[in-house]
Amino acid sequence: MDAREFGGPLAWKDRAREALGTARRRLGDLLRPLPAEVLSTQHSPLMSPPIWDVAHLANYEEQWLLRSLGEPGLVGAETDRMYDAIRNPRASRSTLPLLGVAETFAYAEQVRARALRHLDGLDEEALVQTGALLEGGFVYGMVAQHEQQHVETLIATLQLVSSTALPPLPGALPRPDRGSLSREVRVRGGAFRMGTDAPWAYDNERPQHGVDVPEFFIDRFPVSNEDFLAFIDDGGYRRQELWHPAGWAFREAERLEHPLFWRRSAQGWERRRFALWEALPGAEPVCHVSWYEADAYARWAARRLPTEAEWEKAAASAPDGTVRRYPWGDTPPDLSRANLWPLGGHPASVGAFPAGASAWGAEQLVGDVWEWTASDFGPYPGFRAFPYPEYSAVFFGPEYKILRGGSWAVAPDAIRNTFRNWDYPIRRQIFAGFRCARDA
């Protein structure tokens, strides 16, 4: 695909404006109700103070939608350095002389106003001069998705703050009973086209390329809390033989006995959702488990995690050889197909979205919880770093595992079948669960 997908060399301008506006509205909706103290505090060494995220978003936007497009910047090298994610590990960000709450939001607004003015003035001459960054509106899609991704990071930060209630969310999630369905689906062997060349895709999703995947079975739904409890009750956290050696060492060091944000009370298992402790909902996908816990569960169940090629094939391919942008087809996500931000504020029960099934019958691949896969983060054949190596290339290697599908806290603009997320296998504060697979 190329710029013509949007119907003309500048026809993407409306879409760019809309994507930036949606991202900013969601950021404001999330942060506006919060006291200044919550915004400026570092709540965990795993996360930034929320105002760091906001100023970082503004600084990133300044670099990509102003300076790289020939506009003057607003701040100097020192501020750039302070809000550079690579230079400043998260644990160190509260020690920086950060902008205050009001200054941070003012900075973000100034950058946005200038970026929109520049976008309004773009003409075909600018396209010729700037080249690839503007092709199909790429750089605007990149900045809008970046902002949406930080909204999810901020939601994860708020989940770590046990005193903060997330503002009520509008949706009521369906609670179906579809227990009579087989728990797994079969995906036929053969080649499929993995990855994408769509205009707003990231460099690590490109290029689309053929991959041969032998026949396999994959779970119809993500592993539920109830499923995971059976693993706990069967001594799963005490049986070293089920664990990857590094995972066992991690379990021992952290004394892990259950997923993060769970506790056992006199009433039974509970989980904390923002400021609220509630009875563990058995039918929801398990969330806040590390890759090591997912891997141990799969071994206990005599199954395994799917590779990312299997995951994407189950989500994107169809028996007739076509590929889809979302599991159900090319239509953007809506409330009947996937639980994405801002719908429910937590994962939906398994079976809640039959209309979101893939061609092979797998459900809830998009939304609810990110799904750990067996695969390390690496480049596709023909990968080219764009527009900067710090987006993906510097993270390639065996220390990161791939997650797919997005969580309930991901915005529709920031997820598709080909989207690749990555994190350390010990990470638990992210909205991550998994499903299992097995060879046919």
Count residues binding Fe ion (CB under 5 A). 1
Give the range of 20-28, 77-85, 100-108, 175-183 binding Fe ion by CB under 5 A: 77-85
Q: Are the CB atoms for 256 and 237 separated by under 8 Å?
A: yes
Give the range of 18-26, 63-71, 78-86, 173-181 binding Fe ion by CB under 5 A: 78-86
> Which letter does DSSP use for residue 379 in this model?
P
Residue 60 CB, nearest distance to Fe ion (Å)? Answer: 6
Binding mask 82-111 for Fe ion (x = CB under 5 A): ---x--------------------------
Residue nearest to Fe ion (CB): 85
Distance CA 323, CA 311 (A): 13
> In the numeric block, which tokens belong to residue 229?
């409890």
Q: Which 336-375 residues touch Fe ion, going by CB under 5 A?
A: none
Distance CA 376, CA 414 (A): 21
Distance CA 357, CA 428 (A): 27
Residue with smaller CB distance to Fe ion, 62 or 293: 62
Residue with smaller CB distance to Fe ion, 85 or 385: 85
> Which letter does DSSP use for residue 317 in this model?
B
Residue with smaller CB distance to Fe ion, 61 or 227: 61
Residue with smaller CB distance to Fe ion, 84 or 135: 84
Residue 377 CB, nearest distance to Fe ion (Å)? Answer: 17
Q: No. of H helices and E strands in the chain?
A: 11, 12
> In the numeric block, which tokens belong to residue 87?
């230079």
Give the range of 80-88, 128-136, 181-189, 212-220 binding Fe ion by CB under 5 A: 80-88
Residue 53 CB, nearest distance to Fe ion (Å)? Answer: 8
Alpha-carbon radius of gyration of the chain: 22
Give the range of 81-89, 106-114, 230-238, 400-408 binding Fe ion by CB under 5 A: 81-89
> Which letter does DSSP use for residue 75 in this model?
S
Residue 146 CB, nearest distance to Fe ion (Å)? Answer: 6
Residue 43 CB, nearest distance to Fe ion (Å)? Answer: 18
Strand partners, 377: 397
Binding mask 35-74 for Fe ion (x = CB under 5 A): ----------------------------------------
Residue 245 CB, nearest distance to Fe ion (Å)? Answer: 33
- Three-state SS across 148-205? HHHHHHHHHHHHHCCCCCCCCCCCCCCCCCCCCCCCEEEECCEEEEECCCCCCCCHHH
Question: Beta-carbon neighbour count of residue 133 at 10 Å?
Answer: 17
Residue with smaller CB distance to Fe ion, 85 or 198: 85
Nearest Cα to 6, choosing from 261, 151, 199, 213? 199
> Phi-psi region for residue 361, left (φ > 0), alpha (ψ -120 to 50) or beta?
left
Residue with smaller CB distance to Fe ion, 85 or 335: 85
Residue 81 CB, nearest distance to Fe ion (Å)? Answer: 15
Residue with smaller CB distance to Fe ion, 277 or 391: 391
Residue 63 CB, nearest distance to Fe ion (Å)? Answer: 11
Residue with smaller CB distance to Fe ion, 150 or 271: 150
Residue with smaller CB distance to Fe ion, 85 or 126: 85
Nearest Cα to 27, choosing from 432, 416, 411? 411
Q: How do beta strands 437-439 and 397-404 pair? A: unpaired
Distance CA 140, CA 199 (A): 11
Binding mask 375-394 for Fe ion (x = CB under 5 A): --------------------
- Please give the residue ranges that form the binding site for Fe ion (CB under 5 A): 85
